[in-house]
Structure formats: structure tokens, C-alpha cells
Amino acid sequence: MASHMTDLLERTAPAYERVRRVIPAVEWPAFAEDVDAILALKRARNAVILAHNYQTPEIFNCVADIVGDSLALARQAMAVKADVIVLAGVHFMAETAKLLNPDKTVLIPDLAAGCSLADSITPADVDAMRARYPGVPVVTYVNTSAAVKARSDICCTSGNARAVVEALGAERVIMLPDEYLARNVAAETKVEIIPWRGHCEVHERFTPADIAEVREGHPGVVVLAHPECPPEVVAVADFSGSTAAMADYVADHQPSRVVLLTECAMSDNVAVLHPEVEFIRPCNLCPHMKRITLKAIRAALEENRHEVTIDPAVAAGARRAVERMLAI
């Protein structure tokens, strides 16, 4: 038994080295067995794991092959050569990977890993917006179901929203479903934006008072806000951008103190790379992202669950909207 544990810790030592700043050594044995099993399963099944920036450090740093924001995951999904893709993230991300890889097996470790934005809008809502604003193009955030994407002209992410809106060359666009992302983009462009009323349950909770409190308690702190935060929060932040843009900001500017107004795991994952930066941590957990665990990823690979399928009647239209975005 002792020698099994010694061997296991030895085999997983390179993985632990990557997270030792955020996972105490005493906690590592609880992760090591699953990390070891997942690394072996990936080889056996010719699988890759795509992980969003909100995944916990042991997933993000120890078993993932490709990490990033929604845009990076979609771009990289196009180039995957493996037979199986495990999406460590939420359901719409797995659907996007499947749209771009119709012939591969795409697995989501927990089917209930949803998103409040995706839940805020239906295909019938998109049709109603089109009827209300005839001829106005529809830009849809990737945080939506494939059926909603299929009713859209083009998709966007938080990393390219303004570029997508401006690339259409229209005076007005409908931007669905995140009201705050739409209003934050509207503040940066001359294009008139017609928003929907969806909100991210994680980012809508940040307030200007939170920022004031952080600035008072931590002089000199640099405040980075995700564009799913309310516009009044973004207005008093020092920078706003996608999760990847926030990580790049820390890498490029090396602030001595920073707060990332987004999901909690982001700070852990960026902190791993920047031990000299102090991360102040008022953050909110995304319950959907946190459904994805090492145990769920292991079970996904062992039992081939849960396979993502997309109704062929919507897949072609949804793929067109995603590919149009990726071409920009």
C-alpha cells in the first residue's frame, strides 16, 4: 500500500509541481489517483481535454491539454486530431466543440453544467426579436444553445464581441442574450446595439461598492472586470476583457496587486504563473463550472459519458454562425 502511494506520488510529481503554489502538499494525495488515471485514459482513448479558464487548478494544470477562454477553446477545437474530446467547461462549450468536430466523440462530464445566459433565451425569442426589428442582423454570444445559434447571423465571444459587431457593417445590430455584454460593447462602438435581458448569475453580482471596498482595503490594487459585469462596474474598473484578456493583462503589466472580478478559479490559475503578483480574491463561484471535477472527467473517459449530440436540423445553421465568427 505504502509503495503504491509512493509510486503514485512519484508518477504524478510533474503534475503536482505545476500546482504546488495553490494546492498544499497534504491535499495532493486526494487528487493524485484521479490525475494518474485520467492521464492513462487519455492515452488509451486518444482523447484530449479542453478546459475553460474557470476550471479548478488540478483540472486546468494537471490533466488539460488545451486551456483558454471561450474563443480560444472554439479556435483550438477546430484543430483537434484526437478521437475523443472531453470538454471541461459548460454545455454550450461542448456543443461548440461538437459543431466544429461533427465526426468526433465529444463528452461533457456533467450534463447539468449549464449557464444562466444560455437558459435566458429560446429560438422563439430570437424569432420574436427578428420580427420586431426586421432586417437587423443578430449577433449571438456563444453562451447559448445550438438551436439559438442556428437562428443567428453570427456568434461572438467576450474576446471578439466589438470586432464582430463592427465587421457586419450595419448601423444597428441585435446582440443576444447578455444585456451587460451588449451595453459594454455599445459603450465602445458607434454601432447601435439592441440588447436582450439575459445575465450571467456570476458576474451580475459584482457592484461598484465591491470595487470601492477593495480599493480602500488594498491600496494600489488594479481592478480587472469581465464584460459580463454590469456597465457601472466596468466603468470603475481599470480594464475589462475576456478571461484570456485578463490573464494576458496580468502577464503584460505584472501589477503588484490585482483583483479579477470574475469566477473564483481564474485567480488560482493565473496565480500559478505569477507568484510575485498578489491576488485579492472577492470572486463569485459558477456552480455550473464547478460541476466538472476530476472524478467526473475520469468517469466520462471510463464510461464514455455524456456524449454531446446536436439535432442535425439545427447543427448546420449553428455551425455556420460559429464559423462565420471564427473567420473574423
Instruction: Report the interface residues with ligand 13P, using CB under 6 A.
Output: 53, 69-71, 90, 143, 157-159, 200, 228, 242-243
- Which helix or strand (DSSP H or E) is residue 194 part of? strand 192-195
Q: Which of ligand SF4, ligand 13P, none is residue 288 near (CB under 5 to 8 Å by kind)? A: ligand SF4
- Which helix or strand (DSSP H or E) is residue 165 part of? helix 161-167
Give, as one character, the DSSP assignment of residue 25. Answer: G
Nearer to ligand 13P, 9 or 272 (CB): 272
> Residue 185 corresponds to which cell in the numbers above?
460593447
Taking the complex as a whole, how short is the minimal distance between the CB of residue 102 and ligand 13P, in angstroms? 23
Q: Residue 201 interacts with ligand SF4 (CB under 6 A)?
A: yes
Cis-peptide, bond into residue 177, ω within 30° of zero: yes
Taking the complex as a whole, how short is the minimal distance between the CB of residue 61 and ligand SF4, in angstroms? 20
Nearer to ligand SF4, 200 or 297 (CB): 200
Taking the complex as a whole, how short is the minimal distance between the CB of residue 114 and ligand 13P, in angstroms? 10
Q: Residue 288 interacts with ligand SF4 (CB under 6 A)?
A: yes
Q: Residue 229 interacts with ligand SF4 (CB under 6 A)?
A: no
Rounded to whole angstroms, the Cα distance separating 122 from 63 reads 34
Nearer to ligand 13P, 114 or 123 (CB): 114
Q: Which of ligand SF4, ligand 13P, none is residue 116 near (CB under 5 to 8 Å by kind)? A: ligand SF4
Q: Are 157 and 70 in contact (CB under 8 A)?
A: yes
Taking the complex as a whole, how short is the minimal distance between the CB of residue 116 and ligand SF4, in angstroms? 4
Q: Residue 59 interacts with ligand SF4 (CB under 6 A)?
A: no
Query: In one letter, which amino acid is 128?
Result: A
Long-range residue pairs from 160-164, CB within 8 A, at least 24 positions apart, any chain: 160/71, 160/325, 160/328, 161/185, 161/227, 162/188, 162/189, 163/328, 164/139, 164/325, 164/328
Taking the complex as a whole, how short is the minimal distance between the CB of residue 228 and ligand SF4, in angstroms? 6
- Which helix or strand (DSSP H or E) is residue 14 part of? helix 13-19
Q: Residue 289 interacts with ligand SF4 (CB under 6 A)?
A: yes
Q: Residue 53 interacts with ligand SF4 (CB under 6 A)?
A: no
Q: Residue 202 interacts with ligand SF4 (CB under 6 A)?
A: yes
Q: What is the DSSP string of 123-151?
A: HHHHHHHHHHSTT--EEEESSS-HHHHHT
Which has the closest alpha carbon to 60: 18, 108, 10, 28?
18
Q: Kindly indicate which of the ranges 129-137, 199-207, 229-237, 297-305 contains the residues binding ligand SF4, using the contact rule CB under 6 A.
A: 199-207
- Residue 47, helix vs strand vs coil: strand
Nearer to ligand 13P, 109 or 159 (CB): 159
The correct pick among 95, 153, 263, 268 for binding ligand SF4 (CB under 6 A) is 263
Taking the complex as a whole, how short is the minimal distance between the CB of residue 38 and ligand 13P, in angstroms? 22
Sequence-ordered alpha helix ranges (H) in 46-156 = 57-62, 70-77, 91-100, 123-132, 146-150
| Cα radius of gyration rounded to whole Å, the chain | 20
Q: Residue 87 interacts with ligand SF4 (CB under 6 A)?
A: no
Considering CB under 6 A, how many residues would be counted as binding ligand SF4?
Answer: 13
Binding site for ligand SF4 (CB under 6 A): 90, 115-117, 143, 200-202, 228, 263, 286, 288-289
